[in-house]
Amino acid sequence: MICGYLYSRDDNLLIFNILLSICLASFGGVIALRLPANESFIKGRSHCDYCYHQLTWYQIIPIISYLYLQGKCAYCQHRIQPTIFIIEIIGLIAGFEASFQHLYNPYILISLIITVAVAAMTDVLFLHIWPIILLPTIISTVIWQPLTLIAWKYWLVWAIILILLFIALHDKIGFGDIEVMLLLALVLGINPTLEIVLLATIFIMIYYAIYQFNNHKLTAVAFVPFLLLALLIRLGAYCLGFCQ
Ligand SMILES: [Zn+2]
């Protein structure tokens, strides 16, 4: 019930949460694409990646512009990668899930989902997770959703287990995966995180089985997208009343 007073089904608040979440997700997508290239994500107006034409305000409205332009640049008609559109849809889902629960501070939950989505994006595109991406959610969690001393003990034990796992399997799992799992546990607690990791592991086994079935040789697979999918499904199941 931490910060449960922020929870309300008030329609205006729901719309505000959803719009905020979509805009943050859109910004997160820009960070994920620009951070690896050392490009500033604050300065510089949005432009087409192919013809470099600057985009006007109505061409950068999250979700709507992509659908209106049917995924193509308005100037050169080149197909636009759907990565930003996908993360904006995740932002939309995050806004709903954060508003229809009363366990966590909704804004920290939105921040968590978008952070994991940004990490999933860089994990897929660059097979790397920049720790700085996780920092805003860590800081806001520690300030606005302080853990009790007992929860801290569990979190520390969980951290030690994961670090030992990383040392034992460092050629199999990346440290970025460990960081994301620690962040999940920091915000959600240990039990929901264990359920999410278990669900993500089932998903990756299904993915691996399909790959094997099609005789594809499996190289490095990003784990964070599976964690993100499991996180959205676990929270969705909670919002719909299927689990606690
Ligand atoms: Zn273009």
Predicted confidence band at 187 (pLDDT cuts at 50, 70, 90)? very high
Distance CA 243, CA 11 (A): 25
- Report percent pLDDT > 70 for the chain: 95
What is the pLDDT averaged over residues 179-202? Answer: 95
Identify the residue whose tokens are 């999933």. Answer: 120
Does 116 score more than 50 pLDDT?
yes
Distance 71 CA to ligand 1 centre (A): 11
- pLDDT score recorded for residue 114: 98
Is the pLDDT assigned to residue 1 strictly greater than 70?
Answer: no
C-alpha 80 to ligand 1 mean position (Å): 8
Closest of 115, 93, 99 to residue 233, by C-alpha = 93
Q: With 90 as the cut, is the pLDDT of residue 153 above it? A: no
pLDDT beyond 70 at 242: yes
Q: Is the pLDDT of residue 141 over 50?
A: yes
58-72, 203-217, 227-241: the lowest-pLDDT one: 203-217
Query: CA Rg, the chain, in Å?
Result: 19
Residue range 83-109, pLDDT digits in tens: 999 999 999 999 999 999 888 999 999
* Greater pLDDT, 213 or 232: 232
The two counts, helices (H) then strands (E), for the chain are: 9, 0
Residue 2: which pLDDT band, with cuts at 50, 70 and 90?
very low
113 pLDDT higher than 90: yes
Question: Rounded mean pLDDT of the chain?
Answer: 88
HSE of 170, CA atoms in CB hemisphere, 13 A: 4
Q: Is residue 14 classed as helix, strand or coil in its secondary structure?
A: helix
Ligand 1 centroid distance, CA of 47 (Å): 8
216: amino acid identity, one letter = H
Helices 224-239, 190-213: inter-axial angle, 10-degree rounding: 120
CA dihedral 107, 113, 119, 121 (to 10 degrees): -120
Cα(77) to ligand 1 centroid in Å equals 6
Task: Determine the 3-state secondary structure of 128 from DSSP.
Answer: coil
Q: Which residues of 40-79 are buried (b: 16+ CB within 10 A; e: fewer)?
A: eeeeeeeebeeeeeebeeebeebbebbeeeeeebbeeeee
Sequence spans of domains, the chain = 4-239
Q: Helix-strand-coil percent breakdown of the chain, rounded to 5?
A: 65, 0, 30
Task: Say if residue 23's pLDDT is above 70.
Answer: yes
Nearest to 141 by CA among 185, 174, 171: 185
| Residue 3 binned pLDDT confidence (cut-offs 50, 70, 90) | very low
5 pLDDT band (50/70/90 cuts)?
Answer: very low
User: Distance from the CA of 124 to the center of ligand 1, in angstroms?
Assistant: 24
For ion ligand 1, residues whose CB falls within 5 Å: 48, 50-51, 73, 75-76
Distance 28 CA to ligand 1 centre (A): 22
User: Is the pLDDT score of 58 beyond 60?
Assistant: yes
**Euclidean distance between CA atoms 213 and 215, whole angstroms:** 5
At 122, is the secondary structure helix, strand, or coil? Answer: helix
Higher pLDDT, 46 or 121: 121
